[in-house]
Structure 1
Amino acid sequence: MRDAIYFQEELRRRFPAAHSRLCAEIDEQYRAIAPDVAFARLSSNPMDRRLDFCSYFLATILILERHGESPETIRDTCLAVTRAFVQPRNSWQRWLRQLPAKLMGTPVVALMARVMQAKTGRKGHEDGFLVQVVTSPAETHGLGYGFDILECGIVKLFRKHGAGQYVTVLCEVDELTSALAGLELVRGGTLARGASRCDFRFRHLPPKR
């Protein structure tokens, strides 16, 4: 997996003595999970394509759990990997991350919302995602853009492998990525916690002084 280096570096830092063995076991577990997400690469729903990366998360969680690591250690490890992965590498990437917030409320975002609905409003696979885009200003804090995940491929994948309790770790990542984009994520619930949807609503973060 192309982005496995982010996992490997964090495992080396946290578990220096067992690092090589853990990485080998995780790679083996990832290959075992791979058939469950093989559809994602060619899915008509672009949301499904994140399942390959998430399957490596799942492999990491399952192996750490098998080695007796606590849920807290597993959560902290996964969040550390994610922070390293999403951080902009340079000023250009930082600008790109903040561009959506700058475009909120413009015709460009309205067009993007229509395109996103067309691509993600239908399931590409039964085990994938289903999304409803929301454009009503009254429902989106005046920004004209939000979305609801009605079916989550990550929840389905993790539950299939007996790791449903760890999906909430990846839900925490949404707040981090939103903040990097200059937005506050306003959420009422998630599928992982038993809600009927994962609602993504946003507000502009105040400018840093």
Structure 2
Amino acid sequence: MAESIHPFYQLHRAAMEGAMRQRLDLAKPMLRERARLSDVDGIQQQVMDEFEVVLTQMPYVGGESSRMSDFFMRLLGFIAIGRVLRRHGVPLPMIGDIERETYRAHLLTVPEAERFASGLQFLSPENQALVREQAAKSATRNHQQAFPDDFVYDFVEPGPEDNFEFGIDYKACGFCKFAARHGDDEILPSICGLDFDAYATRGIRLERTQTLAGGASHCNFRFSRLRSE
């Protein structure tokens, strides 16, 4: 019997599928010219079929009450793209490049004013308070027992010598857990690479020197305003 999609993701399914189709349309030239794939329409359908599988695999981590639910909904579709391209023999570095450039092009379809307003909201004291609160909750035993596939992270305050506005140290990563469970470890770094454009297109500079996927003890995200040259 086919696995079911969690009701929270079912509620957002149409929007997620729409975003996937838009990304695949943006990726078509790269799939033809770089990956040398001829049946691009067929590849697109294979990715959408694989995305249906991913939807049944998406872990529920609290829905609207968890900021990480949005990360899963925005990014796990790239797992479907990576799986299909890998089956067609596309090299892993090329998969990473195609996914990152596709994601950036998709993000840039949002008007600049809207993107930058979102960036300011992310850096705002109100959002920092929310991140601080959810970080503390993520580390509790009750939360980890209720949502074992969620992220676990610490809020990082800047010190006197630091030049970032705030940071997050991810001690456990939902994407790493997902990849380990479903055999996606090879394509996991492609997901990590999406973070830089996700923030840069909103006017935020992300500094990160290590990741859990790369074998480090934690992912060290540091955020500041991206200043134009």
- Give the % identical residues: 23
By how many angstroms is 1:34 displaced? 2.2
Alignment correspondent of 2:57: 36
| 2-structure distance, mates of 1:170, 1:139 | 32
By how many angstroms is 1:193 displaced? 0.1
Alignment correspondent of 1:190: 211
SS in 2 for 1:3: helix
Q: Does 1:80 align with 2:96?
A: no
* Inter-CA distance 170–22: structure 2 relative to 1 (3 Å threshold): same
Residue 129 of structure 1 aligns with an amino acid whose one-letter code is: F
By how many angstroms is 1:87 displaced? 2.0
The 4+ residue runs of structure 1 with deviation greater than 6 A are none
SS in 2 for 1:77: helix
Q: Does 1:50 align with 2:68?
A: no
Return 5+ residue gaps in structure 2 as ranges: 1-16
Q: Does 1:138 align with 2:159?
A: yes
Question: How many equivalent pairs are there?
Answer: 204
* Inter-CA distance 8–181: structure 2 relative to 1 (3 Å threshold): closer
Return 5+ residue gaps in structure 1 as ranges: none
By how many angstroms is 1:170 displaced? 2.1
Alignment correspondent of 1:111: 129
SS in 2 for 1:185: strand
SS in 1 for 2:72: helix
Q: Per-residue displacement from partner, 1:61-85 (whole Å, max 9, x unpaired)?
A: 1111111122233122211221122
* Inter-CA distance 129–32: structure 2 relative to 1 (3 Å threshold): same
In the superposition, the TM-score normalised over structure 2's length comes to 0.74
| 2-structure distance, mates of 1:52, 1:178 | 16
Alignment correspondent of 1:63: 84
| 1-structure distance, mates of 2:213, 2:178 | 12
| 2-structure distance, mates of 1:171, 1:69 | 18
* Inter-CA distance 151–25: structure 2 relative to 1 (3 Å threshold): same
* Inter-CA distance 207–60: structure 2 relative to 1 (3 Å threshold): closer
Which of 121, 129, 134 matches 2:151?
Answer: 129
SS in 1 for 2:116: helix
Residue 151 of structure 1 aligns with an amino acid whose one-letter code is: A
